[in-house]
Structure formats: structure tokens, C-alpha cells
Structure 1
Amino acid sequence: MTHEIDVFWSFRSPYSYLVVPRLIELERDWDAQVNMRPVLPIAVRQPDFFANADPLWTTYLMRDCVRSAEFAGMTLRWPRPDPVVMDFATRTYPKEQPYIHRLTRLGQLAAERGRALPLLRAISHMIWSGETDAWHEGDHLARAAASAGCDLAEMDAVVSAEADRLDAAIKQNEADQRAGGHYGVPLMVYDGEPFFGQDRYDQLLWRMQQKGMARR
């Protein structure tokens, strides 16, 4: 029996970036199927979400995500530019967002085509690893997509033509995410049980093994 998990994932989350290699290993090494479910970041869904957050929330996040990357043997630098534009004066997020909707639609389209993990790995690495400045310019995105076996120009054409349909699918992902037991990312849901955060991956693997998941 193939063991399926739904993974609710965001391009703006450093922890989503960090978990992708482990999900690739999960499908490679175990009788598992990973269903990637791209969602918009909470900052876009609820633009005032962070406005009243304690300042320690942000300072801890910045320290922890870099430490978590180091622990995982990965590099991490806050993206340039941030996939979500923020008004630093008000600590809110304007409605007009030039990057995140395109990225999330591309992720949803890749998921529908069975190419989500390689595409999300390639693009999130480009955005978060610190190896690329101005990831949104030039041919950076196109080269990342090509490395995952995808044609960015063709996918962008579909995204443009089918934006409403893709947005509806993303909205459904967000509804299913909450139904799965949490609003944050990455959220991994297996057999009705939610595992929130990349640091719950080992518990997820343990539970799947407990329920009979075998090595390939």
C-alpha cells in the first residue's frame, strides 16, 4: 500500500524550503506519495496577521531559520526580493503583490502535472539559498524551472490563461489545510494527523513506519 501525505507549502516560508529535500527522499526511499498543496502565505491571506505580533517573534524566526538550515546542511539567506512585499512602517502587507501569486500558481500547476517536488525544490533553492540575487529578474526562474524539467514560458502562458481556476484550487488547498489541523506551513497531513513544521518530519516518518510503510 502506498502511503500518501498532503503537504501544504508556501514559497515565502523558509521552513517550507528546508523540508523539500526530505520529502524528495521520502518518495525516493519509501513506499510513499507526497501530494504538494501550494498555499498563499498567511501574510497575504491575513495582511494584518503580523501587525500586532511581539517583536521577539521576528527576531527569533530570523535566528531559528538560519540555525535550522545550518543543522540541515543547507544555506539560507532572506530572499532578495522577499516573495511577499511588506510595508515596514505599518508591519502590514499591501494587497498588490507582484511575485507571490505567480509563484503559487506555478506551484499549483506543477502539482497538477506531477512535477511539484522538483519545481518547488529548484525555485525555493534559488530564492532562499542565497546563491542568487534578484531572483525575479533575467532568466533565473526559467533556468530553475528547466532544471526541474519544466518550461517556464509554457507554464506562464497557462498561468495567465487559467489564473482564476488555479486560484480556486489554491483556495481549496487553504481550506483543506485548516481542515487538516493547522494554518501554518509546512503542514504535513497523514492519515488525518497533522504534523506542523519541518522539525516534525521525523515524527511523520516514525508514524508512517508505525503504520506499515515499507522501503522501496
Structure 2
Amino acid sequence: MRLPVKADLMPWFARAFSSPYRHALQRSMHKARAKLRGESDLVRVFVNPRDPFGLPLLQALVQLQKHFEVRIRLHTVWQLDEEMFPEPALWASWAQQDATLIAKLYNLTPPDRPTPLSEAELKAATTQLLQAEQANDGLNTAVRLLTDLWSSDSQSKLGPEPTDLDNQTLLDNEKMLRRLGHYQGSMIWHLGEWFWGVDRLDHLERSLTDQGLNRDASRAITYTRTWADLTNTSTRLPDGHPAAETPLDVFFSIRSPYSYLGLERAILLAKAWNIPLQLRPVLPMVMRGQSVPDAKKWYIFHDTKREADKLGIPYGFVADPLGPGVERCYALFEYARSLGREIEYMLSYARAVNAEGIRSETDAGLKIIVERAGLEWQKAETLLDNQSWREWAEVNRKAMYDCGLWGVPSFRYGTVSCWGQDRLWIIEEAIKKRVETSSTQGVYNPTNNAKVTEGQRGN
């Protein structure tokens, strides 16, 4: 009898770690500790002045504090771990643009400063943030500081650089950040859970509500617009409509759990609007020589489970396809596409390795994935040694970088691109604008389901 090896057991370990029972037990332990320390209502917020997501996050927390009986404690941090940010230049550009979009979505002040922050400005802001940590009105003070630092008409004044005591406080804050299990700013920690930026405030709101800390029991969760509104107002476009002829490109990795959620949601979006979906697989970051440290892996795993539960998508019974699983997946992609079944194939694969514990590096596991996608295993088996996929995977990677993006899942519709499964609302807004433009310019006549050329418009 063959003893189970590590690869056999890993999906079961993942399932146990992501189980609701384990989460409930862990939550109960943190609640008990917090109660003993008098910290049940304490929310820790880690802010890095170099991170533009901090400005909308702190503004949102000012609003939430009006609705929840919580104490918010600031912790200023400074380091940006290069292991966690493999493309720092691209990250800096993307982060400001993305933080501006999320701020405008919730009517917050965006970090739309047009010029780069100087080191002198950042150090001065850090000193002032450290002082705000000790103030009674520290949260509002920090909002004013970051608003001034990141605004388009910045009036930030230089001040003294951090003292030795300030530097020690920064070091202590960063040690606390790592000890509690994270690695970046714009993060909230409460009762053992991490919440990133404005995007994960809905989870924090639910947690605080569950503990009875809300001032108004009838108040609905506020920060849901990045996901709850998707396809709610969509109108299925008829074939031939200009907006329906532009494909939605999906750059994704079969290993990425966020890509799995993004693929599920992109399929729904494309079907709702009747637009073509074009899958653009790329190699996982690790297989591209980029580092994904353990702290980042664990946060992504737990955050994906939380997001999947919210969206009603199964996740947690994970059989990591890294290496042979990824290669075998991509080796069969062209075969699936030749039959027009690439979406069914990738969806079958993604569900298998993220939610069903199916080991795709084995023939038995891969056969299940292939056959339920409507493909023939006998044919697929002959293609597993095909290496031509490496060429198009690299083409896809370069196309993703051309969008100013480096991570998956990323999406592109026409000239609009975004990163993250929780950014598909940006794509939907682009579709709506394309529809409005087509109607305004008279390029489409819905009465006869035909495009109208420039010469046919008349006056």
C-alpha cells in the first residue's frame, strides 16, 4: 500500500486551514485575548506615507468611526520590502492611479498629486504622523497630513527629520506589522484579521457588526461598490454592436487564486454584456523568477477564501499546480481553443485546483479536468509534451506589461486596463461609456441591429 506523500496531503491541509470551523475557533481565541486586555474595540491601522492608498483609507475610517464604537490606533511604517513589491516603479505609478479611482468611487479625496514625492517631504510627513499617533485626534490629523502631502496643489511644508526616538518607534511599528503577519501599509488589523485599504472595509464592517459595535443596527454595509454593483445594470448588447465587438482580455495565471476569482467574475461580466472574452494566460510569478514570500502567500490564501465566500465561489480545497501542473495546463490550451472551448477548459482547471483538490500534475486528475470541459483525453494526452505555449505565454506577459501592469489577474477592454478581480467594475464602466458613445455618435442603429457607417449618418 502506497503511503500518502506531501502532495497528496496538501489539499487537505489547505481545506482544514480554510475551514469555517478553524476560522471561528481562531476568532474566538482572539476575542478572548482582546477582552482580557480591554482591546475588543481596538482597530490598528498601519500607514506608510509613501503608499497613496493610505489617504482614502483614513478618510473612510473617519466615516466609519461615526457608525461604530471603535478606537482606532495609528502605526506609522516606512519600509517597502522589495520582495513584496517585485516591480517598485510600476507599483508606484499603478498605486496612485488605482487609489485615485477607489477614492472617487466613494467620494473621497483622491491622492492625485501630479509630481513625485521628495524624500524630504516624506520624512517630514513621517515625523508628523508619528506625532499624530500620540494625539487624541490622531486620525483626523493624519488625514489632514496625507491630504496635504498627496493633493494636486500640495502645500506640505518641510519639517524636522525623524529623531532617534522616532526611528525607534518606526522600527517597533514595523516589527509589530511583521509579528502580526503582514508586510505593507494601508492595512488594518482587528481580532487577528487583516483588511487591506478601502477594498476590504466591508469585511471589517461585518466583523464589527457581528460584535455589536455598530451604533445603528439597521445600517447597511457601506463599502461594497467594487463588487456588489457588477452587472446589476447591464443590458445585453445585440450582436454587431460596436461595444460588443471589443474583446475583454483576461491576463491570468492558473496558479493564482485571485485569477480564479477574476476568471469566474469576468465570464459573468462578458455574458451579461454579450462581449467576447479573450484569455491571455501567463506564467506564475514564481515561475518567472519573482519572489512570493510566505507572509504574502498566507495573506492571499486567507483573503481569497474570505472574498470567495462573499461572492459565493467555492475555494479552499487547493491542489497547487505550480510547476508541472501549470505546464500541462498551458500545453493543452491551444487544443481547447481550436475547438472553441478554452473558457470551459480553463474554468474546469481553475475550479479543480482551487476548490476540488484535484491534482492536475497527475494523469488521473488532468483527465477529469479535460473531459468535463468537453475535450478528448486520448487526444490531449498526446499533446502534453508540447512546449510551444511558452512563446505565447511570453507574448501575453509583454502585453500585460505594456498596460503598465505586472500582476494577475489583469484585464483590458479597448484602451482601459486594470489589475485585480475587484477592479472589474472599471471594465464595466468602460463598456458603459463605449455604449453611450456609440449611441451619441449614431454609430449603431438598434432598430435593425446594424452598424451605421460614417457615410450613412447624414445630418
From 250, 256, 265, the equivalent of 1:13 is: 256
How far apart are residue 207 of structure 1 and its match? 1.6
Task: Determine if contact 1:177/1:187 at 8 Å carries over to the other structure.
Answer: yes
Name which of 41, 53, 59 aligns with 2:298: 59
Question: What is the letter of the counterpart of residue 60 of structure 1?
Answer: Y
Aligned-pair RMSD on alpha carbons? Answer: 2.4
Q: Which of 265, 268, 291 pairs up with 1:49? A: 291
| Secondary structure of 1:158's aligned partner | coil
Task: Find the residue that maps to 1:6 and give its secondary structure.
Answer: strand
- What's the secondary structure of 2:276's corresponding residue? strand
Give me the identity figure in percent: 25
Does the CA contact (< 8 Å) of 1:108 and 1:170 recur in 2?
no
Letter in 1 for 2:303: D
1:138, distance to aligned residue in structure 2 (A):
5.3
AA at the equivalent of 1:83: P
Q: Is the 8 A contact 1:35 1:111 kept in 2?
A: no
Q: Which runs of 5+ in 2 are unaligned?
A: 1-241, 439-459
Quote the residue 1:120 is aligned against.
346
CA contact (8 A) 2:279 2:343 kept: yes
Structure-to-structure mapping, 1:5-154, within 5 angstroms: 5-46=248-289, 48-50=290-292, 53=293, 56-77=295-316, 79-80=318-319, 82-84=320-322, 97-111=323-337, 113-129=339-355, 131-137=356-362, 139-154=364-379
Equivalences, count? 195
Report matched runs for 1:183-198 at 5 Å.
183-198=406-421
Distance 1:189 1:30 in 2: 15
Q: Structure with the greater relative contact order (CA < 8 A, sep ≥ 6): 1 or 2?
A: 1
Offset of residue 22 of structure 1: 2.1
Match for residue 180 of structure 1?
403
SS in 2 for 1:79: coil
Residues 8 and 188 in structure 1, CA contact (< 8 A), matched pair in contact too: yes
Going from structure 1 to structure 2, the CA distance change for 1:23 and 1:152 (only over 3 Å counts) comes to farther
Query: What letter is aligned with 1:35?
Result: Q
Q: Distance in 2 between matches of 1:153 and 1:38?
A: 24
Describe the shift of the 1:35–1:133 C-alpha distance in structure 2 as closer, same or farther (beyond 3 A): closer
User: Aligned AA for 1:76?
Assistant: Y
Q: Map Cα deviations across residues 29-74 of structure 1 (whole Å, 9 max, x no partner).
A: 323111101111011001x523xx5x64333222211111111101
